[in-house]
Chain A
Amino acid sequence: MARIAGVNIPTAKRVPIALTYITGIGPAIAHQICEATKIDESRRVNDLSDAEVLAIREYIDANLTVEGDLRRETQMNIKRLMDLGCYRGLRHRRNLPVRGQRTHTNARTRKGPAKAIAGKKK
């Protein structure tokens, strides 16, 4: 068990895969971390030495925003838009798509499950 970036405990998977369990680290950044710390991508997390785990941890601390900090940053950005009273903020407030997608149909990700309209069909 290796603890990297707070609470995350990736498993016996390959290092780049395991790193993507951390919020804010995807395949591309995981690859970048492996390169910077000179860890072979075919190796598993459980056979990393303590020094290597430490190197990964230090690299993340120094270069990346992950987990809680990242979530807070995103939330702050959304809150800023909402406080401004601009169009994007209004869309966030109403939980509708922000980037000009159609809402006549679809948009279910933002709107949530479809609500049945009573008495729509005769």
Chain B
Amino acid sequence: MARSVWKGPFVDAYVLKKAEKAREGTRNEVIKIWSRRSTILPQFVGLTFGVYNGKKHIPVNVTEDMIGQKFGEYSPTRTYYGHAADKKAKKK
């Protein structure tokens, strides 16, 4: 179910603070965040966020299309290298 409109988009406060600081400082630096649950707001466009995936911060360059989605969507948490067993079975 979608979130009620009257609540407004959810963003962790520290993400907002960091983003504001980065926009004043014009230098395009990766903003490290752990908050994968935060919504991507219009004022984040053009900034680069390092979204934590449980292991490291994945750099995400925010574009206009991403607005309204969550940061977590851009930082995959699972690694999949295929099934090693398949190859073993073939060799036998």
Binding site for B on A (CB under 8 A): 80, 84-88, 90, 117-120
Once the chains are docked, how many angstroms separate the CA of A86 from the CA of B72?
A: 9
| B76/A87 in contact, CB under 8 A | yes
Once the chains are docked, how many angstroms separate the CA of A88 from the CA of B73?
A: 8
- What would 6 more interface pairs be, CB under 8 Å, given A88-B73, A118-B86? A84-B74, A86-B73, A87-B72, A87-B74, A87-B76, A118-B89
Binding site for A on B (CB under 8 A): 63, 65-66, 69, 72-74, 76, 83, 85-86, 88-90, 92
Judged by DSSP, the binding face of B is helix
- CB-defined A-B contacts under 8 Å, sample of 17: A84-B66, A85-B74, A86-B73, A86-B74, A87-B72, A87-B74, A87-B76, A90-B76, A117-B83, A117-B85, A117-B89, A118-B86, A118-B89, A118-B90, A119-B88, A119-B92, A120-B89
Judged by DSSP, the binding face of A is loop
Once the chains are docked, how many angstroms separate the CA of A119 from the CA of B86?
A: 9
Once the chains are docked, how many angstroms separate the CA of A78 from the CA of B42?
A: 22
> Cβ of B83: which chain A residues have Cβ within 8 Å of it?
117
| B89/A86 in contact, CB under 8 A | no
Q: How far is the CB of A80 from chain B (nearest CB, A)?
A: 7
User: Which of B73, B86, B90 has the most chain A CB atoms closer than 10 A to its own CB?
Assistant: B73
Query: Of all chain B residues, which has the CB nearest A80?
Result: B65
> Cβ of A119: which chain B residues have Cβ within 8 Å of it?
88-89, 92
| A86/B85 in contact, CB under 8 A | no
